[in-house]
Structure 1
Amino acid sequence: MDLFVIIALLVIVSAIYSYINARFIKLPGTIGIVTIAILVSVITITIDKLNPGIERYLTLLAKNINFSSTVLNIMLGFLLFSGSFSLNTKRLKKEMRPVFILSTLGVIFSTAIFGGLFYGVTTLFHIHVPLVYCFLFGALISPTDPVAVGAIIKNSKLPVNLETIISGESLFNDGIGLVLFITILEFTQSGSDKLDFAKTSILFIREVFGGIILGIVFGFIAFRLMKTITDFQTIVLVSLALVMSISVVAAFMDFSIPLAVVCAGLFAGNQTINIDSTEHSHQALEKFWQLIDEMLNTILFVMIGLQMINLPYLNNYWLIGGVGIFVILIARWLSISLPLTFLRRTLNISYSSVNILTWAGLRGGISIALALSLPASPYRHIILAGSYFIVIFSVIVQGLTLNRVINASIKPDGK
């Protein structure tokens, strides 16, 4: 299928789903889009079972989308830049300690806890998944998704400090999650029983610190360029060029694209590009990137729904999905509770907030993209199926009930 036709069909389908949700269903944007996309995919699969000949007409779009490459190499940079550019950096600095702990130790704890629990529970049900693949599953599903988080918490009643912590954590924890994912993936493919800590350390330093430095340098250059002009069209082009250049250079140098883009967005958004008090370029640029964010969000979640058509049939589909959901919620809760137990004064988070932070830790397209990028193995479909169930549950169920959890967890005095 021609590239333009794929893009055109994606936009058309996204517009139709968005209209149906806005006109009839009236669920919060992201939740409504995912729900409609899943229902359409289920109907498509059912019709295909009844008449396989219809498949080529109904699934052509889904089968021609390279979801993993599209999300990780194209869409992710724009979505992360949009989220970081509009983030309140003053609030982020105030909550930097809990953001840092949860986006580093939290992800590592969650990966280890999820891997161990998933291995134990699946063994009880006589589903054999090697422990190292359980940890690989944990590495790709543990980081909270900044796209899903940003889309859901816009309509939530989260306290300001928790909203900042959750948004900041979701922007930064992808770097740690990706390093863990790549490290464990290389371990599964090496056939070795020993982990090369020197190689792992070099990989971590290059990915994380290289991405941070690249983002700050490119963000500074772009900011200085935008600061010297008032032509809005040129300012927009510079911001687009910033995201694209970072993605290209970071991929070439094996730096973390998510961390580089987030750092660039935070740096460029932290200071105004307005030349004087009467000029509103910065505000207009924020609105432009908010529009890009909302449009790409819609397309991304339509793609998530469409990709269900490509899922292989598994006898243990629902069991694997249910186990995955149960285990990731426990791992998320423990990965917050453990640091809080030992570092409560440092984190400045109350125990009553743990349930909110757990339920607001949503997963999205990044986890599915990483699962789809896994090389062929007997366990790939199990990880992929589990990822889909976790993502769909987190977006729809956790997204719809987040405000109830917030109301139940916050005391009348607001604490």
Structure 2
Amino acid sequence: MYNFDQLLILFSALLFLVVLFSFINEKTIKLPYEIGLVVFGFIFVVLYIIGRNLNLVHIPIEFLNLYREFDFTDFLFKGVLCFMLFSGASRIEFGDFKADKFLIGSMAVIGTLVSTVVYGLLFFGLGYLIHVNITFLEACILGAIVAPTDPISAMSILAKAGLPKRIGLIIEGEALFNDGVAVAIFATLITALKLSTDSVSVMSFTWGLTTEILGAVAVGFVVSFLLFEVFKRSNDNFIKIFTSILTVMLSYLICEYLVFSGPIAAVICGLYYATAIAGLQRNNHICMTEELRDLFYSFWSVVDNLLNGILFLLVGVLLLNIKNINTLSVGMIFTIAIGSILFNTIARLAGVYASMIFNKNPPKSKGMPNHRFIAFMTWAGLKGGLCLALIMGTSISLATPTYNLFLVATYAIVLFTTVVQGLSVGKGYIWLSGNGSKVKPQKKNVKVAGSAVK
């Protein structure tokens, strides 16, 4: 347990690295903010490991102990995730998803389930070929970890790729909701692993998944409705901002207590506020002034960018969390990394294809045939901090060799999708849509709801 001084030291160090790497990136290779932090964080770790092995670099043991004690899973799930999801969702109205609600729903549920199983089968087969002792249940746990597209990556990276609004909303909508599905699958499979059984009751799995999602939606709506009444009736703009913070915190805490999906509740809160604020604007309500609108979206934009920066930096440095790295040969690491990236693409393709089977109204409005849309959505499936938080949550449940392999696999997927796919997704859309003209990136508008993706 950290004391206040330790927390201040750790946060100061993280913020220092965020500022340093962001400044270097801005003045040199000029990658997108989030991708730059991942790249420079990764380079920093590689240089540190090389320097440590050559006795050229020394970091005080007190600071290394602080880092080793840092719980990334708790930091993401019980700390910053709810605020980041609320911030992203608060720029999208419920009505924005109307045209593609069935596609988004099928991708979030069916796509995640299919991707989990397909990836599990492929990784289990790889383990058999390279003589690594992995059970099919353990392989499916890894499949559940890497199946969901990360909402933070989608909102922060894809928003800057210059995608058409409808395509961007589909990607963002799936990313906002499929994390709850993946976490429910993950929790069920981890429970089965602890009980030493390869079978999971279909009834208990379905019931658990349904209650976790529907319960979170109900909590998000009820808390948002009650506290938005305070937001609407208060004459103090700062009280309104504090009310929005309380809304997402209270919803998340209630869901934690009732074992519902806190992330989904946070998304519902953000969508509710965006829709309600837009309604007040359209009706020229006296409480919705230009000053309040600027303050609300500016505040949540600052929160979003600060937490995003810290999160993506941590994604870059989490390679340090491999236990007894000397137990893994270079050849093993390379094989697992390449295989994982390939399997992730195949599993994602299978999930998107399965989702399209159940969708009767594919988005053809941009002149993209179904097979090209499936290919694009496969490439646009970015993974991020959510996957790493889940894998780090298995450090106790899995044996150290298995945990190390799974961490390498997850890290390789996150690094590849964030950097390679994140940088090329805009060009990929242009190529697949047959549009030779360059799609101009849209700047995030912090004032108007629904402007996170244009």
TM-score of Structure 1 vs Structure 2, range by shorter chain: over 0.9
Greater alpha carbon shift after TM alignment, 88-97 vs 226-235: 88-97
Q: Is the 8 A contact 2:45 2:319 kept in 1?
A: yes
Task: Choose the corresponding residue for 2:360, options 345, 348, 351.
Answer: 345
Partner residue of 2:339? 323
Equivalence map 1:14-413=2 (5 Å) = 14-51=18-55, 54-57=58-61, 59-60=64-65, 62-272=67-277, 275-276=285-286, 279-280=289-290, 281-312=292-323, 313=325, 314-315=328-329, 316-340=332-356, 342-348=357-363, 350-374=370-394, 375-378=396-399, 379-412=402-435
**Structure 1 pair 36–193 and aligned structure 2 pair: CA distance change class (3 A):** closer
Task: Kindly indicate whether the alpha-carbon contact (under 8 Å) linking 1:143 and 1:170 is maintained by their aligned counterparts in 2.
Answer: yes
Q: For 1:39 and 1:413, how far apart are their aligned partners in 2?
A: 35
SS at match of 2:163: coil
Go from structure 1 to structure 2 and tell me whether the alpha carbon gap of 1:53 and 1:43 turns closer, same or farther (over 3 Å shift): closer
Question: 2: CA distance between counterparts of 1:310 and 1:114?
Answer: 23
Question: Which deviations, in whole Å up to 9, do the C-alpha atoms of 1:258-283 show, x marking residues without a partner?
Answer: 11111111111112156328712234
The one-letter amino acid paired with 2:391 is A
Q: C-alpha offsets along residues 219-274 of structure 1, whole Å, 9 cap, x if unaligned?
A: 11121111112322111111111121122221111111011111111111112156
128-137 or 200-209, which deviates more? 200-209
Contact 2:376 2:428 in 1 (8 A): yes
Are the counterparts in 2 of residues 59 and 309 from structure 1 also a CA contact under 8 Å?
Answer: no
Cα offset, 1:401, TM superposition: 1.4
Q: What per-residue deviation string (whole Å, max 9, x for no partner) do you get for residues 113-172 of structure 1?
A: 111111112322222311111100011110100001111112213222210100000000
CA 1:352–1:299 in 2, change beyond 3 Å: closer, same or farther? same
Partner of 2:9: 5
Q: Secondary structure at the match of 1:100?
A: helix
* Alpha-carbon distance between aligned partners in 2 of 1:176 and 1:96, rounded to the nearest angstrom: 16
CA 1:277–1:235 in structure 2 vs 1: closer, same or farther (change >3 Å)?
closer
3-state SS of 1:95 partner = helix
Look up the SS of the partner of 1:363 in the other structure: coil
Contact 1:157/1:406 (8 A) holds in 2: no
Q: What is the Cα deviation at residue 52 of structure 1?
A: 8.9
Which whole-Å CA distance do the structure 1 matches of 2:129 and 2:429 have between them?
A: 34
Amino acid at match of 2:222: V
| 8 Å CA contact retained: 1:144, 1:170 | yes
Deviates more, 1:48-57 or 1:313-322: 48-57
Partner of 1:54, secondary structure, is coil
Tell me the matched-pair count.
Answer: 413
Q: CA deviation at 1:376?
A: 4.1
Segment drifting more, 193-202 vs 280-289: 193-202
- Contact in 1 for aligned 2:103/2:359 (Cα 8 Å): no
Structure 2: distance between partners of 1:367 and 1:358:
17
Work out whether residues 184 and 212 of structure 2, in 8 Å CA contact, stay in contact via their aligned partners in 1. yes
The answer on whether the counterparts of 2:123 and 2:340 sit within 8 Å (CA) in structure 1 is yes
> Do the aligned partners of 2:93 and 2:272 also contact (CA within 8 Å) in 1?
no
**Secondary structure in 2 matching 1:271:** helix
Larger mean CA deviation between 274-283 and 118-127 belongs to 274-283
CA 1:278–1:192 in structure 2 vs 1: closer, same or farther (change >3 Å)? closer
Q: TM-score, normalised by structure 1?
A: 0.94
Retained in 2: the 8 A contact 1:162–1:357? no
Q: How far is the alpha carbon of 1:305 from its aligned partner? A: 1.8
Q: Secondary structure at the match of 2:87?
A: helix
- Deviation per CA, 1:360-399: give whole Å up to 9, x if none: 1100001000100112423222111111110011111111
CA offsets per residue over residues 84-105 of structure 1, 9 Å max, x none? 1112433212221111110010
- 1:367 counterpart letter in structure 2: C
Would you say the 8 A contact 1:37–1:305 is kept in 2?
yes
What is the CA-CA distance between 1:339 and the residue it aligns to? 2.9
Q: Which amino acid aligns with 1:206?
A: T
Q: Deviation at 1:60?
A: 4.7
SS at 1:276 equivalent: coil
| Cα RMSD after superposing both structures | 2.0
* Offset from partner CA, 1:51-104 (integer Å, 9 cap, x none): 298254574553242111101111110111111111243321222111111001
Q: Is the 8 A contact 1:100 1:169 kept in 2?
A: yes
Cα displacement (A) at 1:296: 0.7
Q: Secondary structure at the match of 2:157?
A: helix
Q: 1:220 & 1:345 partners in 2: Cα distance?
A: 33
Shift of 1:295: 1.1
Which stretches in structure 1 are left out of the alignment for 5+ residues?
Answer: none
Gaps of 5+ in 2: 365-369, 438-454
Within 1, Cα distance between the matches of 2:436 and 2:427? 17
Does the 8 Å CA contact 2:103/2:355 hold for their aligned counterparts? no
Aligned residue identity for 1:286: Y
Q: How many angstroms apart in 2 are the aligned matches of 1:276 and 1:300?
A: 38
TM-score (norm: length of structure 2)? 0.86
